[in-house]
Chain A
Amino acid sequence: MIALEARGLIKCYTAVPAVSDISFSLNSGEVLGCLGPNGSGKSTTVRMLTGLSEPTRGQVLWRGKNIQDNLVGYRARLGYVPEEADLYPFLSGWEYLELVGTLRGLAAQQLAKKIGAMLELFSLHAHRYSAIGTYSKGMRQRILLIAALLHDPQLLIFDEPLSGLDVTSALIVKNLIKGLGERGKAVFYCSHVLEVVEKVCSHIMILRQGRVLTYAPTSAVRQAFGQTDLEHAFVHLVEDRDAEQSARDIMQVMDAR
Chain B
Amino acid sequence: MIASAKSARAPTLWRLPDPFARLVRHCVDRIFHGGDASEADGVDFGIAAILGLLALPGVFASLFLADKYGSLFQFIRGDRDFDPYAASLPDEYFFIALAMVVSAVVAVWKWDSLLPDRRDYVNLAPLPIRSRNFLAANLLALLFLTAVLSLDLNAASVVLFPMVVCGSQASFVYFARFLGAHFLCVVLSSVFGFLLVLAILGALMALLPLRTFRKVSMYVRFTIVTCLMAVLSTSFAVPPMIHSLAENPQAFLKLVPSLWFLALDQTLLGRGDPALSSLGGWSVMATGVVLVCAIVTYALGYHRCFSRDSETMVSLPAAGGFLTPRIFAIFDRFLFRSSFERATFRFTMRALIRGPNQALVVGWFVGVGIVIASQSLFAAIGTPSHALERFPSVEILGVPLALAYFLILGLRCAFDIPANFRANWLFRLTVNPETRECAMLARKVIFVFLAPALILICFPLYARFWGWRTSLIHTAIVGAMCAVLAEISLMRFRKIPFTCSAPNFRSHAIVAILIYIVGFFAFSTFPAAIERWAFDNPVRFLAFVPFLTGVWLALRAWRGNLSHLDTRIIFEEKLSPAVEAMNLTYGP
Contacts and interface: CB of A to CB of B under 8 A. Distances in A.
Task: Say whether A associates with B.
Answer: yes
A160 to B, nearest CB: 15
Interface string A82-100: 1010111111101100111
Given A88-B351, A105-B339, A99 B315 contact: no
Interface stretch (B3-11, B36-44, B238-246): B36-44
A174 interface: no
B182 interface: no
Given A88-B351, A90-B354, A90-B419, A100 B318 contact: no
Interface size class of B (residues with CB under 8 A): 35 or more
A150 to B, nearest CB: 11
B317 A100 contact: no
A72 interface: yes
B320 A129 contact: yes
Given A95-B350, A131-B318, A86 B425 contact: yes
Interface in A36-61: 50-52
Interface stretch (A16-24, A134-142, A209-217): A134-142
B318 A92 contact: yes
Interface stretch (B69-77, B86-94, B267-275, B341-349): B341-349
A128 B315 CA distance: 11
A134 B118 contact: yes
A133 B35 contact: yes
A90 B37 CA distance: 6
Contacts of B35: 133
B94 to A, nearest CB: 34
B430 interface: yes
A131 B425 contact: no
A126 interface: yes
Main secondary structure of the interface of B (DSSP, over half): helix
A51 B425 CA distance: 11
Nearest to A138: B315
A135 B315 contact: yes
A87 B425 CA distance: 9
From A50, A91, A103, A105, residue with most partner B Cβ within 10 Å: A103
B378 interface: no
B431 A103 contact: yes
A235 B428 CA distance: 36
Contacts of A130: 315-318
A104 to B, nearest CB: 6
A223 interface: no
Contacts, number: 98
A95 B320 CA distance: 10
B320 A78 contact: no
B430 A100 contact: yes
A189 interface: no
Nearest to B215: A129
A90 B342 CA distance: 18
Contacts of A95: 346, 350
B319 A129 contact: yes
Contacts of A84: 422
A134 B354 CA distance: 14
Interface string B284-315: 00000000000000000000000000000011
Contact of A90 (B317, B355, B432): B355
27 contacts: A72-B433, A72-B434, A78-B429, A86-B40, A86-B425, A87-B420, A88-B351, A88-B419, A88-B420, A90-B354, A90-B355, A92-B320, A95-B346, A95-B350, A99-B343, A99-B347, A102-B342, A103-B339, A103-B343, A103-B426, A105-B339, A127-B317, A129-B318, A130-B315, A130-B316, A131-B318, A139-B315
Give me the 7 closest cross-chain CB pairs, A-B, nearest first. Answer: A133-B36, A102-B343, A90-B354, A89-B36, A129-B320, A103-B430, A86-B422
Given A102-B346, A103-B340, A129-B317, 20 more contacts: A50-B429, A72-B432, A72-B434, A75-B430, A78-B429, A82-B425, A86-B422, A86-B423, A90-B355, A90-B420, A95-B346, A95-B350, A104-B430, A105-B339, A131-B36, A131-B318, A131-B354, A134-B36, A134-B315, A139-B315
